[in-house]
Each structure stands twice: as structure tokens, then as C-alpha cells.
């Protein structure tokens, strides 16, 4: 640092002493390059004080007293207002340029808080959800799914309750999905198929009433199962509900009705993503279900589901029957009562 240019040639007299016990001496004081130069009458340099380190001992008083640093024994007394103002101005300039330790600590603290906030926003919610779904027991999942079903049926209409139809639906579920789904229901409206926490599956009545065989309903069952293979339905719910709801479930085992009501509305308003065709075809082949009836139910032209049609494991051959004629008729009439 160089002293302010306007003071390059400024000099004045002062009184200097080398230590508290030393004799006071008349001196000449001038600015140098980053220093305050103190000389005797013979122009011999007695001391060079670093401008950034200079401290004033009596702010606001005259004559002004300065020292070269906090531990220094030297002392300089000045009465020249111009020189005093010059030193003060240089000290203020140095202070502005000097890194502010308190400000630096503030910046570091603010950066740390921002980093923690970012971590909390981007990582912790996902980590909290992942941990929570590993510790929630099956009984609690079923309770959450059943409560969510109650909120859904307020919007879709109540589940269809024909005894024969419900028995036929249970047999179809067992034939197609085995024990991966705990229970299936048919409702009057809503998406063709919804997978809920606790192993509950909802089907729209149209998938059984508007088609000639159980293969279409079976296809929607398989599609819902594949869509949720890698994402736990409970994880979807918690991700939508947010960290507070997730933490409440983790600590108290409860999900509020408000959260479930809002999520029910979200489920019904959100289009269901189509599963990858190759993965879905594997499901059809494993379950021994024809893919074409489902493909044409999704798209009557077959254009968007052409891969399912062309790679149907039962293309050109008869697929195994999924239900007896009596069960199929009962299933189609499940909402008649």
C-alpha cells in the first residue's frame, strides 16, 4: 500500500520518544511508501512506522498521540492539524481496505447457514423419506392406505360391494399379482388403476364393465404394479406431503387427515405415467396375461401402444383364461348393487 498521493510531500514537526523511559526528542515526520518516517534535525531516520499498524492513543484530543502498534513502546506527539488529519485519513483508508475479521466471520457463518439450508432443502427430505419408509410397519402402511382410501372414495364414490363381484375380483388379483397386492377394490370413477400404501389397489369400474374379458382389468393391474415397482406408494405420499408430515409419521406414527385429503385430490388430478413397454411386457409374460387387450383399451388405434401389441406374448395364440365365465360376469356386475 502506498500513502495517499496528496500527502507524498507532506511533513511536519513532532515530539518522539523511543520508549516510555526515553527522553523526548524533536523530530520531523513525513510520509513514505507505506510508512511514516521519523527523522531527527540532521535528517537521520530514527524510525519507520507501518501505516496500517499505527494506532491513536487519544482519539479526538490535541496534541494527538500515536504509537506504531499495540505492543510498541514508542510514542509520537503531533500538533499539526494537517498532518494529524492526513494520518487519520490514511488510517481510515487502510481500515476500509483491511479484511474485516468480524465481517469475514459473518460471511463464513452465512455461507455455512446457506449450505445447511441447501442440504436441508435438497437432501434431507429425501433422506428422511427413505429412512421413514424402512421403519414403518406393514400394519401402519395398511392403516394409512385405508384412511387414504376413505378420502379417495369421497371423490370417486364408495367402493362397489357386490359379494360375488368382490370374490371374483379377489381371485383375479391373486391370479395376476399374487400376494404383492393385499386387496383390490372397484370404484365408480377416477383413474383406471391406483396403487395405495399398504398394498391396496383401486380400479375404475369401466375397466371391468366396458370390456369383453378380464385381460383388460388384469393389464391395468399389472401396469399399476409396474409403475410402483421402484417407488413405494408410501414414499410418494410422504414426498408430496413434505418434511413435517414425514417427521410426524416417524415420531408419532400418524399422518393427519388434512395431509391425506390433500394427497387424495393430488392422486386423482395427476395423470398416471405409462410404464416402460419392455418392463411391462415382462410383467405380462410372467403373469401369463395377453398384452393386446390392455394395449387397445389404452389406445383404441393401437398407435401409442404398438410395442405392446407386436410383442404380446400371446399374439396369435389363445391366452390362458383368467376367470371362469361366472366369475367374470360377477365382476362385471360388482357395482350393480
Calpha distance 271→267 (Å, rounded): 8
Residue 105: domain span: 100-135
What are the pLDDT digits (tens) for 25-74?
Answer: 999 988 777 788 889 888 888 888 888 788 888 988 889 899 988 888 89
pLDDT bracket for residue 132 (50, 70, 90): confident
Beta strand residue intervals within 182-337, DSSP E: 183-187, 193-196, 200-204
Q: Report residue 284 as a C-alpha cell.
A: 405380462
Q: Specify whether 54 is located in the same domain as 106.
A: no
The pLDDT of residue 98? 59
Calpha distance 280→286 (Å, rounded): 10
Contact between 228 and 305 under an 8 Å Cβ cutoff? The reply is no
- Strand-pairing partners, residue 47, are 38
Q: Within a domain: residue 157?
A: yes
Q: Specify whether 64 is located in the same domain as 152.
A: no
Q: Would the pLDDT of 145 be above 80?
A: yes
Q: Specify whether 242 is located in the same domain as 222.
A: yes
Q: Would the pLDDT of 122 be above 60?
A: no
Q: Report residue 63 as a C-alpha cell.
A: 496534541
Q: Specify whether 168 is located in the same domain as 283.
A: yes
Q: Specify whether 217 is located in the same domain as 235.
A: yes
CATH number where 39 lies: 2.30.29.30
What are the pLDDT digits (tens) for 74-101?
Answer: 999 998 888 888 888 877 776 666 555 5
Q: Specify whether 231 is located in the same domain as 325.
A: yes
CA triple 131-134-135, angle to 5 deg: 95
The pLDDT of residue 93? 75
The pLDDT of residue 7? 66
Which of 37-46, 262-271, 278-287, 327-336 is the least confident region? 37-46
Out of 68-77, 124-133, 250-259, give the one with best mean pLDDT: 250-259
Count of structural domains, the chain: 3
Task: Identify the residue with better confidence: 321 or 82.
Answer: 321
Q: Specify whether 201 is located in the same domain as 309.
A: yes
Which of 9-13, 81-85, 105-109 is the least confident region? 105-109
Q: Specify whether 283 is located in the same domain as 143.
A: yes
Quick one: angle between helices 215-227 and 163-177, nearest 10?
60
Calpha distance 308→293 (Å, rounded): 10
The pLDDT of residue 123? 44
Tell me if residue 41 falls in helix, strand or coil: coil
Q: Within a domain: residue 337?
A: no
The pLDDT of residue 202? 96
Task: Identify the residue with better confidence: 183 or 4.
Answer: 183
Q: Specify whether 197 is located in the same domain as 313.
A: yes
Q: Within a domain: residue 54?
A: yes
Q: Specify whether 184 is located in the same domain as 149.
A: yes
Q: Within a domain: residue 87?
A: yes
The C-alpha R_g of the chain, in whole angstroms, comes to 41
Q: Specify whether 75 is located in the same domain as 198.
A: no
Region at 268 (left for phi over 0; alpha for psi -120 to 50; beta for the rest): alpha
Distances (CA, A) of 158 to 138, 187, 205, 217, 320: 24, 6, 11, 19, 32
> Going by DSSP bridges, is the β-strand pair 183-187/200-204 parallel, antiparallel, or unpaired?
parallel
Contact between 196 and 202 under an 8 Å Cβ cutoff? The reply is yes
- Strand-pairing partners, residue 48, are 37
Contact between 202 and 149 under an 8 Å Cβ cutoff? The reply is yes
Residue-wise DSSP of 73-96 = --EEEE--HHHHHHHHHHHHHHHH
Q: Would the pLDDT of 303 be above 80?
A: yes
Distances (CA, A) of 72 to 14, 35, 36, 211: 18, 15, 15, 98
Amino acid at each position: 500500500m502506498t500513502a495517499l498521493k496528496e500527502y507524498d510531500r507532506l511533513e511536519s514537526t513532532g515530539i518522539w520518544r523511543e520508549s516510555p523511559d526515553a527522553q523526548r526528542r524533536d523530530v520531523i515526520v513525513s510520509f513514505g511508501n507505506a510508512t511514516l518516517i521519523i527523522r531527527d534535525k540532521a535528517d537521520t531516520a530514527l524510525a519507520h512506522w507501518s501505516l496500517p499498524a499505527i494506532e491513536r492513543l487519544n482519539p479526538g484530543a490535541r496534541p494527538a498521540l500515536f504509537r506504531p502498534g499495540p505492543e510498541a513502546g514508542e510514542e509520537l506527539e503531533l500538533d499539526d492539524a494537517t498532518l494529524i488529519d492526513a494520518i487519520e485519513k490514511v488510517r481510515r483508508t487502510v481500515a476500509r481496505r483491511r479484511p474485516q475479521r468480524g465481517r469475514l466471520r459473518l460471511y463464513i457463518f452465512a455461507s455455512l447457514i446457506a449450505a445447511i439450508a441447501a442440504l436441508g432443502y435438497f437432501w434431507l427430505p429425501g433422506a428422511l423419506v427413505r429412512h421413514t419408509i424402512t421403519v414403518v410397519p406393514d400394519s401402519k402402511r395398511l392403516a394409512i392406505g385405508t384412511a387414504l382410501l376413505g378420502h379417495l372414495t369421497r371423490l370417486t364414490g364408495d367402493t362397489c360391494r357386490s359379494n360375488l363381484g368382490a370374490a371374483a375380483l379377489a381371485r383375479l388379483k391373486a391370479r395376476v399379482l399374487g400376494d404383492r397386492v393385499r386387496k383390490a377394490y372397484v370404484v365408480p370413477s377416477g383413474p383406471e388403476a391406483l396403487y395405495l400404501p399398504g398394498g391396496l389397489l383401486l380400479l375404475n369400474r369401466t375397466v371391468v364393465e366396458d370390456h369383453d374379458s378380464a385381460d383388460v382389468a388384469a393389464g391395468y393391474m399389472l401396469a399399476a404394479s409396474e409403475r410402483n415397482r421402484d417407488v413405494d406408494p408410501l414414499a410418494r405420499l410422504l414426498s408430496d406431503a413434505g418434511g413435517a408430515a414425514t417427521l410426524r409419521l416417524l415420531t408419532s406414527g400418524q399422518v393427519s387427515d388434512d395431509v391425506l385429503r390433500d394427497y387424495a385430490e393430488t392422486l386423482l388430478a395427476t395423470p398416471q405415467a405409462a410404464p416402460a413397454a419392455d418392463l411391462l411386457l415382462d410383467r405380462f409374460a410372467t403373469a401369463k396375461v395377453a398384452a393386446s387387450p390392455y394395449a387397445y383399451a389404452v389406445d383404441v388405434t393401437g398407435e401409442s401402444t404398438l410395442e405392446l401389441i407386436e410383442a404380446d406374448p400371446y399374439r396369435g395364440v389363445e391366452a390362458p383364461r383368467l376367470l371362469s365365465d361366472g366369475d367374470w360376469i360377477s365382476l362385471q356386475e360388482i357395482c350393480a348393487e
